[in-house]
Chains A and B, each alone.
Chain A
Amino acid sequence: MAIFVDENTKVIYQGLTGSQGSFYGQRNAEYGTQVVAGTHPKKAGTEVNGVPIYATVAEAVKETGATASCIFIPAPGVKDAVMEAAEGGVEFIVVITEGVPAHDEAWFYNKLQRDFPNVQLLGPNCPGIISPGKCNIGITAGEIAKEPSAGGPNVGIVSRSGTLTYQALYELKLKDIGVSTCVGIGGDPVPGTSFIDCLERFEADPETQAIMMIGEIGGSAEEEAADYIKASVSKPVVSYVAGVTAPPGKKMGHAGAIVSGGKGTAAAKREALEAAGVKVGNNPTEAGALMVEVVDGLR
């Protein structure tokens, strides 16, 4: 088991013909991901690294039975690409692209909720998702993730930050702790997949015994996750929230990482998480050490 994606996931790459798309598509395929198709309106019938290109997502789904799509299209085209993927019939859409306008994100998030309620969107502006040993969609370096062990305990990771996700994967690997699935939900204001979406699935996933949640300043997603954990998560959760010392009113790299009007501070998020029984580290290393303690207790 794993969440969202596994060895049966067949993936289309929208933008496979571009430099980023071909590079990461190839890497994902080498990892063992079933990379079954790419799309380009004018390059149907050609191939990229042996992967067939179709004109549309609908055609690619029809020919290959693809269940997921990974979008590497530049920001101006993302809104149309997301709708093409949903209309084409995939269930899981990953948008790696950063710099998508917030109004586009808000629009396609709500459009999918209404017209394609069974479609799960991940991103935009995210590193993607990896179920180690089974499927890697996006830009995570597969070699830093340890495959889950048969008897566990294994950790599920959900994070708003790319490099901190890698850091977490890597620290767990050094400690010989397996990962069931690692989801990078991205740093934008309207993420398609929330912390809660992932917590719910990790809680139900028999392969996951503990959860690592990496948050950052801005918005109230961590506070909402804390409420959810308190009410509905029985598995131990360890967390780290980046941006404890961020100045108010400044966007810290991510469009969504901003403290405004005294809201969205790391201190408030930490307090909410601790009140929900979550162990919170002062830095990524400390969070890693806390997770080792938790996992040792589960062995």
Chain B
Amino acid sequence: MDLLEYQGKQFFARYGIPVSDGEAVTTVDDAVAVADRIGYPVVVKAQVHVGGRGKAGGVKLADDADAVREHAGNILGLDIKGHVVRTIWIEVASDIAEEYYASFTLDRSAKKHLGMLSAEGGVEIETVAEENPDAIAKIWIDPVDGLSEADARDWVERANLNPDATEGAVDILRKLYTAYTEGDADLTEINPLILKPTGEVHALDAKVTLDGNSTFRHEDYSEYEQTQVRDEREEDAHSKGLQYVGLDGYVGVIANGAGLAMSTVDIVNQVGGKPANFLDIGGGANAEVMAGALEVINNDPKVKAIFINIFGGITKGDEVANGIVTALERVDIDAPIVIRIDGTNAAEGREILSRHESASLISKPTMVEAAETVVALAKERGGQ
């Protein structure tokens, strides 16, 4: 789950990390009211799940109410790389002496947490990593030990920040690590982390990604579900508990297991087609789940043909075939369906399907044959 900047700042504030006073609003009048309350100058910032807001005109400084009115009016409704701005964050403008970068994430290779700190903040860290890798001080943290003050201090010294920032940085980094671990985050990033002329260190931005698997111990995270960017198809699938990722093509894909679903998407591409989605219905494949998956696919107007790819293991091929037949009785499907069943009792499964076979329900024994058939059908029906 990716948090918007204002949610990230509220998340940071809970762990004692200094952020600017501000408020999220959805109307111009509210924006002016907030600015009047917190005091000028203020910054008006678009809240979208995409980088490059500044260049797109989504971040503006305002010295008075008229300026807030003008900028808020322009930014609300602005389209930034396909994301329409519905919410803006109004915060007290900060004086900046220096800009730094700080983050924590998991290093999957080292199986440790990785902290990155750089005196070159305010730009994309990937750019710094490429052009001047020595400017990033890294620290690998054993999750069992955590980040001690001594280690944090050593790390800050290695990053060559302004000495005035040392104490503030050590304090913020330890709090950021706590937010990262206790908050079950995949990523906590501050860019820029600023040193003010007055000597305080302060989080001017917030980028936070939370682990969706941790919601059982963070009940309040359900609020972030509301602001996730999903297209309608993803929303529909999510509400049915299906693992779905929307793609741009015209072949609907249903498979059991994440690996097989990925593989199915691949093979549709390999035979010259374009998949409309990734959809994993999980290890079993009963009629209930299959019907739900077919409904999701059926609601996608771009889908011209459907590829159901099932490997029978503990849920055997004949049970899967019966599930598909039952599901088809429940859902009225427009597009033709090509099914490939393999694995345990695959022959029995294909036998069941053969009794229902028609121009719009075709069974093929291998992934490649099924993919070629479904792509040809989809193209005949206008898929491109």
Contact = CB atoms under 8 A, between A and B. Distances in A.
Interface string B333-344: 000000000111
A266 B266 CA distance: 10
Nearest to A141: B313
B258 A257 contact: yes
Residue of B112, B144, B267, B275 most packed against chain A (CB within 10 A): B144
A187 B258 contact: yes
Interface stretch (A9-17, A35-43, A95-103): A95-103
20 contacts: A75-B216, A101-B214, A106-B112, A114-B142, A139-B283, A139-B314, A163-B257, A163-B260, A163-B311, A166-B343, A217-B262, A242-B259, A243-B262, A244-B270, A245-B269, A247-B245, A250-B278, A254-B258, A283-B263, A285-B366
Contact of B311 (A76, A167, A282): A167
A106 B106 contact: yes
A114 B111 CA distance: 13
Nearest to B259: A161
A89 interface: no
B300 interface: no
Contacts of B216: 75-76
Contacts of B156: none
Given A141-B314, A143-B344, A283-B270, A162 B283 contact: yes
B257 A170 contact: no
Interface in A253-287: 253-257, 261, 266, 282-285
Given A163-B256, A245-B266, A283-B368, A110 B214 contact: no
Interface in A180-204: 187, 189-190
A251 B212 CA distance: 11
A164 interface: yes
Interface string B283-307: 1000000000000000000000000
A224 B256 CA distance: 28
Contacts of B211: 101-103
A76 B217 CA distance: 8
A46 interface: no
A288 to B, nearest CB: 10
Interface of A: 27, 75-76, 99-103, 106-107, 109-111, 114, 139-141, 143-144, 159-167, 170, 187, 189-190, 214, 216-217, 219-221, 224, 240, 242-247, 250-257, 261, 266, 282-285
Contact of A252 (B181, B213, B261, B344): B261
A235 B307 CA distance: 37
A100 B181 CA distance: 14
Contacts of B343: 141, 144, 166-167, 170
Given A76-B216, A190-B111, A170 B260 contact: no
Contacts of B243: 253
A247 B211 CA distance: 20
Contact of B257 (A76, A161, A220): A161
Contacts, number: 163
A144 B344 contact: yes
B213 A99 contact: yes
A250 B186 CA distance: 14
Interface of B: 106, 108-109, 111-113, 126, 142-144, 181, 184, 186, 211, 213-214, 216-217, 243, 245, 247, 255-263, 265-267, 269-270, 275, 278, 280, 283, 311, 313-314, 342-344, 366-368
Contacts of A106: 106, 111-113, 143
Given A170-B343, A220-B108, A101 B184 contact: yes
B188 to A, nearest CB: 12
Contacts of B368: 283, 285
Highest count of chain B CB atoms <10 Å: which of A107, A162, A166: A166
Given A102-B211, A246-B262, A257-B262, A164 B109 contact: no
Given A102-B213, A164-B260, A170-B342, A253 B280 contact: yes
Given A110-B112, A285-B367, 16 more contacts: A101-B211, A107-B143, A111-B144, A114-B144, A139-B314, A163-B260, A163-B311, A163-B313, A170-B311, A170-B343, A190-B111, A243-B262, A245-B269, A250-B245, A250-B278, A284-B263
A219 B186 CA distance: 14
Q: Which 5 A-B residue pairings sit nearest by Cβ, starting from the closest? A: A161-B259, A253-B258, A163-B257, A164-B259, A163-B260
B341 to A, nearest CB: 12
Contact of B142 (A27, A110, A161): A110
Contacts of A101: 184, 211, 213-214, 217
A283 B266 CA distance: 8
A261 B189 CA distance: 15
Contacts of B257: 161-164, 166, 253
A28 B267 CA distance: 33
A189 B262 contact: no
